[in-house]
Amino acid sequence: LNGNPSHYKIALSGILKSPKIKFDPPFLMLIPVPLDVTSERAINIIPQDYLRQSQIQVEIPELELEDGDRIYPFSVQFPKEQDVFLLSDGTNKELTCHISFRSSRPMSFLGNIFFIDEEEN
C-alpha cells in the first residue's frame, strides 16, 4: 500500500443461508387401525445448508382425552443416526425416521410433530 491506504477499497458480498429441513412425504397420514395395533410410516428428513454437525431432536405432542387423561400415542425412532453432517460434495446426508401411533383408546388427531436442531431451528 506504500503508506497510502486510502486508494484501496475492498467490497465483500455474500449470501447467508439458514439451515432448514424438508420432509418426504411433506405430510403424514397414518391409516386407522384397531385398538392397541401400531400404525407406522417411514419418512425421509432432507437437511439443507447445514455447515456443521447438528443433532435432530423431536417434540412429540401429548394428547388429552375426553376424560382428562393424558397420553403419548406417538413415537419416533431413528433406525440409524439422527445427526446431520456435511458430506464431501457439500450436501447434507438424508435421515430416515419411523413415526408410529398406538392407542388403547379410540381417538383421532390432527397436529404437529416438531423436529428441532441443536440451535432450536
- Note the pLDDT of residue 99: 95
- Note the pLDDT of residue 43: 95
- Note the pLDDT of residue 68: 87
- Note the pLDDT of residue 56: 93
User: Edge-to-edge strand order for the sheet containing 95-101?
Assistant: 20-24, 39-48, 95-101, 74-77
Kindly give the parts of the chain with pLDDT less than 70.
1-8
- Where do the structural domains in the chain lie, given as residue ranges? 20-116
Give the torsion through C-alpha atoms of 57, 60, 61, 65, to 10 deg: -160
Its pTM stands at: 0.76
C-alpha cell at 117: 436442531
- Note the pLDDT of residue 109: 79
> For 77-91, what is each residue's pLDDT tens digit?
999 989 998 888 988
- Note the pLDDT of residue 5: 61
- Note the pLDDT of residue 2: 64
